[in-house]
Structure 1
């Protein structure tokens, strides 16, 4: 018979394991010595120790489910209860009991974690729904559409909730996306209609612009082209391909007209530049007539110069005020000379001037005598008053005398 602290083999080859409830039959061994029998069942015990150790590590370090962990524990417990190994079976049961407690604890932790994740997922999905409903009212079609697509991807990455909650939130989310898509579709449909109206309006503008491109009515046609451009801008944009093609035609028609006008204006400017040189020379000749010495000769010379001036033709618009101003200055000098001559040669005007001067001189002489009389009688107040009146009459007399001098000039 052979034995160790946890088991023995009797003379019949029966193998026993010692437990707190007494010896339990493990099995029988007939193929070898009792020591070999104990060694065999001790190896089976070591195998259980290894399996329990591996299970303990899996429970602690992997995401092994509680269900699978409990099934593995039950399987090991059954082997221990069937007493098919020699060793400290009670210690193995203690380790399995501890492992059960660990599994239960992990199950609670996972339950709490899952509840937390579910709550976080609910909050995240509710936030996505709120944002989607706000975006549904946006008119930033491109950016809002891109953001809604990103929200869908975010939604797909979140855990599912319970079916009722998930379906309700998804319904709101989906409805917001549909509402946005419907509004965007309506917007672009209206935009397409507007662009089609713009295309038709611009077709008419292009047709008129092309019809005007050969006109030689420069001023009227240029003004009409400006109006057409205003109408073009007010018409709005057509579809891109039509817009570009119509604009090229519209601009091309204008270019034809303005190029032709520029050519004509260039010729005219060259001609008017020559005219300007002639008129500047005429103005220089006219300016030599001032100051006027011989009015009759000066008037005749200016008349001849003016005839040549009219025959010279148009000059550039920007140069016109200066050169015409020079001739007008000479003309004003001649007019002033004529007025002075007329005043000197007009007997009626001279007589009126002499009469006025005589009246003023008499009034001045009278006032002086009155002042002398008042002073002599000691009436200084009256004398002072008359002296002030004398100042005014003397000023009028001086002015009249100066005018009279012009008739003898």
Structure 2
């Protein structure tokens, strides 16, 4: 009979293993010595130790599922419980029991981790939905569209939730994207319609601008071009492929007109500058008639100057008041001389002047006699009053006498 601390072989060749519950039969051995029997079953025990060790390592270091781990533990436990090995089987059972606890703890840990990941994924998807629903109302078409596409990529990288929750959130997310796409499509359709209307309006403006480009009705045409420009700005932009071409045609037509007008105005300005020089010479010639001497000769000379003046064309507008004012001054001097001559040679006017002078002289003489009489009577107050009245009549008389002198009297 042979034995070791964990087993023995009796004289019949039966192999036993010692456990906490007593000896258990391992098997029979008839092929060799008892030592060989124990060694054989001890090697089987070592095999179990190695397998359990490997399983412990897999549970500890890999993502072995709890289900697979439990199956492996069950398989090993069956081998241990079968008592087909010699060794500390109770220790192996304790290791398997502890491994069960480890697997269960790992399962709970993973369950909690999955729950946390699920909560995080739910929160992330709810945030994506909230942002998508906000972007659905945006008018920043390019930026919002790019952001929505980025949100889709982010969504795809998140774990799935339970089907009901995931479907509900995806429905809201998809609906927000569809709402944005619908609004953007409507906006650009309206924009296209507006640009098409702008194109038609600008083609009409271009046609009118090109028709006016050859006009020589400078003022009204320039005013119309200003109106066309205001209409152009109010029309808005046409499609990009039409806008630049239409503008080049519109601007080109204006350039043709204004270049022609500038050329004509430059020629006119040169002509008017020459006219100004001629009129300044005539004004200087007319001013030499002042002061008016012999009226008839002066009148004839001014008439000649004025005829030459009228034959000259326009002068620059800003110079016109000054040069015409010089001629008007000479003309007024002639008119005043003619009026003085008329008064001097008019018999009726002379007679009226002489009559008025005679009346005033008689009134003055009468007042002087009354003053002398009042002084003689000692009535100084009356005399003073009459003297004040005399002063006024004398002033009128002096004025009348001056007027009479104009008639040569």
Normalising to structure 2: TM-score of the pair? Answer: 0.75
The 1:6–1:24 alpha-carbon spacing in structure 2 relative to 1, beyond 3 Å, is same
Q: Which of structures 1 and 2 has the bigger CA Rg?
A: 2
Question: Among 24, 44, 47, which residue is 2:47 paired with?
Answer: 44
Give the whole-Å Cα distance in 2 for the aligned partners of 1:83 and 1:394. Answer: 168
5+ residue gaps in structure 2?
A: none
- Partner of residue 335, structure 1: 332
Residue 134 of structure 1, CA deviation = 3.1
**Unmatched runs of 5 consecutive residues or more in structure 1:** none
Q: CA deviation at 1:328?
A: 0.7
Distance in 1 between residues matched to 2:289 and 2:143, nearest whole Å = 80
Q: How far is 1:37 from its partner? A: 3.4
1:88 and 2:91 aligned: no
Match of 1:103, SS state, is helix
Residue in 1 that maps onto 2:153: 153
1:215–1:22 distance in 2 versus 1, CA, 3 Å = same
SS at match of 2:236: coil
> Residue 293 of structure 2 corresponds to which residue in structure 1?
294
Counterparts of residues 298-317 of structure 1 (less than 5 Å): 301-316=301-316
Deviation at 1:171, TM superposition (A): 1.8
Deviates more, 1:339-348 or 1:76-85: 339-348
| TM alignment of 1:262-281, pairs within 5 A | 262-281=262-281
CA deviation profile, 1:104-129 (whole Å, cap 9, x unmatched):
22322332332233233333323333
Cα shift readout 1:64-84 (whole Å, capped 9, x = no counterpart)? 332233233323333332334
Number of the residue aligned with 1:322: 319
| Structure 1 residue 152, shift from structure 2 partner | 1.8
Partner residue, 1:169: 169
1:222-233 → structure 2 map (5 Å cutoff): 222-233=222-233
C-alpha distance in structure 1 between counterparts of 2:311 and 2:120, whole Å: 97
Using the alignment, how far apart are the partners of 1:126 and 1:282 within structure 2? Answer: 95
Counting only pairs closer than 5 Å after superposition, residues 2-401 of structure 1 correspond to structure 2 as: 2-9=2-9, 15-26=15-26, 30=31, 34=36, 36-37=39-40, 40-41=43-44, 43-48=46-51, 50-58=53-61, 62-286=62-286, 292=291, 294=293, 296=295, 301-316=301-316, 320-332=317-329, 334-335=331-332, 338-339=335-336, 342=339, 346=343, 351=353
What number of residue pairs does the alignment pair up?
A: 391
* Separation of aligned partners in 1, 2:192 and 2:184: 12
Mapped to 2, the partners of 1:146 and 1:260 lie a distance apart of 52
Do the aligned partners of residues 289 and 408 (structure 1) sit closer, same or farther apart at CA in structure 2, a change above 3 Å counting? same
